[in-house]
Chain A
Amino acid sequence: DADVTQTPRNRITKTGKRIMLECSQTKGHDRMYWYRQDPGLGLRLIYYSFDVKDINKGEISDGYSVSRQAQAKFSLSLESAIPNQTALYFCATSDYNVETQYFGPGTRLLVL
């Protein structure tokens, strides 16, 4: 079984809808991250969390929110989706060695 799982793997939604992307991990890591990937822009950090009570904004947090429900779960919400949020979203985890991050398989989101 995969150590970092993301659901759904693909999602199509309409402008203005609220959606949630889920991430679960079995690695026992305290630190979790959400990134988005766009062609030509690489990976950009949206939010990160170092433990259940810790939430930090990343480079591009506007239009997104997160919830760290448990050590193993970190969800990303788009309160009112817009077309420029169409992207590939990755969840990642790490222990205190932030440089070694373990990525999930990604969620491909299309906002119409």
Chain B
Amino acid sequence: GQQLNQSPQSMFIQEGEDVSMNCTSSSIFNTWLWYKQDPGEGPVLLIALYKAGELTSNGRLTAQFGITRKDSFLNISASIPSDVGIYFCAGLLGAQKLVFGQGTRLTINP
């Protein structure tokens, strides 16, 4: 089936540092999404990207839809403790369902 490959799988950073993670696919997606899962909760949508090359921000988060439509990037600036969690990329498949990446687990040292 479809697979999205996220990297890195985990990150350990100091509070205040910037974070970058990415997601790649062997297939083209027309919509890319980034979700965040807080510890003990279900994922929540952070950012949706609908157009190749699109750059979208949500507060300290910035995500980009790759020009090839086979990748996406998420950046977090000036990390704070509440940024801890698992970040998932997802692609919309056939307008019916989402395919998720393996997740990037972010840990922040105060």
Contact = CB atoms under 8 A, between A and B. Distances in A.
Interface of A: 4, 33, 35, 40-45, 48, 50, 56, 58-59, 90, 92, 98-101, 103-106
B57 interface: no
A98 B102 contact: no
Given A43-B43, A99-B92, A103-B43, 17 more contacts: A4-B42, A33-B97, A40-B102, A42-B4, A42-B102, A43-B100, A45-B98, A45-B99, A59-B1, A90-B42, A92-B42, A100-B45, A101-B45, A103-B41, A103-B44, A104-B42, A105-B41
24 contacts: A35-B100, A42-B4, A42-B101, A42-B102, A43-B88, A45-B98, A48-B97, A58-B97, A59-B1, A90-B43, A98-B96, A98-B97, A99-B31, A99-B33, A99-B45, A99-B92, A100-B45, A101-B45, A103-B42, A103-B43, A104-B42, A105-B40, A105-B41, A105-B42
B45 A106 contact: no
A51 B52 CA distance: 32
B48 interface: yes
Interface residues of B, number: 25
A4 B102 CA distance: 23
B97 A45 contact: yes
Contact of A42 (B41, B45, B100): B100
A59 to B, nearest CB: 5
Contacts of A101: 43, 45, 98
B9 A40 contact: yes
Interface string B92-109: 100111111111000000
